A and B are shown apart, each in its own frame.
Chain A
Amino acid sequence: MTLMNCLILAFLLFGIGVWGLIHRRHLVGMLISMELMLNAANINFISFAYFTASDSTAGALFSIFVIAVTACEMAIALAIVVSMYRRYKSLDVEQLRDLHD
């Protein structure tokens, strides 16, 4: 397995995330696909760190931090989603149409 494979994998993961994001209408589903995208980035870091990078610790470190940060972000996101649910009694993004021109 080469760097290229990993990058392609990451890219595919990213693409899947994007696809899910567009395609899903359920908020939690969208959050999950967003996670996919973030982790694609992580894979990039790791693989660069493993194969090429002169300063390989940085990559690994970076990915760890990313995981942490993403966790907080998800926490907030879920909180908001919950409050959403309280208002709309559903998690369908199609309902988010009150704010528009």
Chain B
Amino acid sequence: MDTLLFNLIWLIPLFTVLVCAPIPGAKAKLIKGIHGVSATLVLLLVAYLTYRLYTLSGTPANEAAAPLLLQFFTDIPWIAALNAHYMVGADGLNMFLLLLTAVIVWAGVFVSWEIKGNQKVFFALIQMLATSVYGVFMSMDLVLFFVFYEMEALCMYLMIAGYGSGRKDYGGKKLTLTLAFGSSMILATLFGLYFESGIHSWSIMELSKITIPMDFQMWAFPLMFMGFAVSSSLFPFHFWSPDGHASAPTAVSMLAAGVMMKMGAYGCLRIAMFLMPEAAKIWLPWVVAFLIFNVVLGPFIALRHKDLKYITAYSSISHLGLIFLGLAAITPVGLRGAALQMISHGFLTGLFFATIGMIYERTHTRDITQMGGIMRKMPFLGVGFVIAGFAGLGLPGFSGFVAESTIFIGAFGQESTLTRIVTILAILSITTTAVYILQTANRMLHGNMPAKYETLTDGCFREKLIIVVLVACLLLIGIFPGWISNMLDQSIAPIFAKISAATAPVNGIGG
């Protein structure tokens, strides 16, 4: 039963699109209603399944699902010619990411309620994007995974090009092509995994049982890791995200920064590191070097920007840097910290972009030097933004703090010199984060208000609801991190076990 429901998660959005297809675009109200209902439905569904997963914690559905302790496990032969299966399953890690996605999609649908242009197509695209993201997190078969993984490029471009603002074509192309570049690297290595593994299987579980030949790993791991890192905007592949976010409509920014950027990190953990642990042990200490840019310089760049979306984009870059710090310090605490950060950052950046979008709809500018004192006119949105900011600078009580402190403690457990240096730098750079966030908040919300903003109104009920839900998520994780981190532990344990069991050859390069 639950298994069936679990498969519905990605089917419902698709089904919604089909339902809406014959309805003429003029009936926008009806279409939006249907989409809103379906998004809410999926949200509830995922929430319920998360609860179910929590109740039957850790016991695998069957022996095929055993290596990752999966629940709701489905395995159906799909494309015989490619030996590809439709294989999905849930453990704590991807279940929470699904929950995150469901929330963000829900918020995204309602945020873009008043979007200009052909609403029918736009909402259809959102739902397809949602489908792809759900699929990525659910699928345990590499072909299926990749299909969903690259599917999002299609929707992203159409949404940005069709509904974006500013240099939308430039931003959209930059985003789509860079992501495509990343995923093509992944695709290339997938074939290698299939044939070099010798067992001719796309199943993550099957592949995890054997050791991939070392000489293949040595070139495949960096290729694949970088491929995933592209979509999580790891330096030097981060350049797509600021322009992309800036030109994207609100919902797309939320989905891109909140969820899509996590797909990369998730892939790094679930596929690259899990299937090629030996190479991971050799390469990851060097990956850390790139993080200096993400974590240390990112905030400084944000400090120099005036456009809200650019600022947020760079804050995302720095936060994702922390995820990789957690991954690269191959310790259980670090990995869990990374997972926590994925989820927490999803919510907080979603909140960020949502409030920014709402404010932008009113002020029609994202330049913080143009604004000021608008807290007086829209206290609710202002508070929403400030909360997002505090969560972003890692204030206790919000999820950000839990994740970051876990990552710091975890990363400090890694002995290698480079990691130590970067960790220390990362810890010390929490100040910079505070600086740019406070500066932004002060410039935008406080101080004297230009006369032209006298007529601005605060958020309507719909917008308030979105903000409240997102804040609630942040607080929930921030105040009661115990249960979530336990569930994550259970799903990370097998991954870490595989990695720690791996013994890297001594002659390999390594830090």
Chain A directly contacts chain B within the complex, with at least one CB pair under 8 Å? no
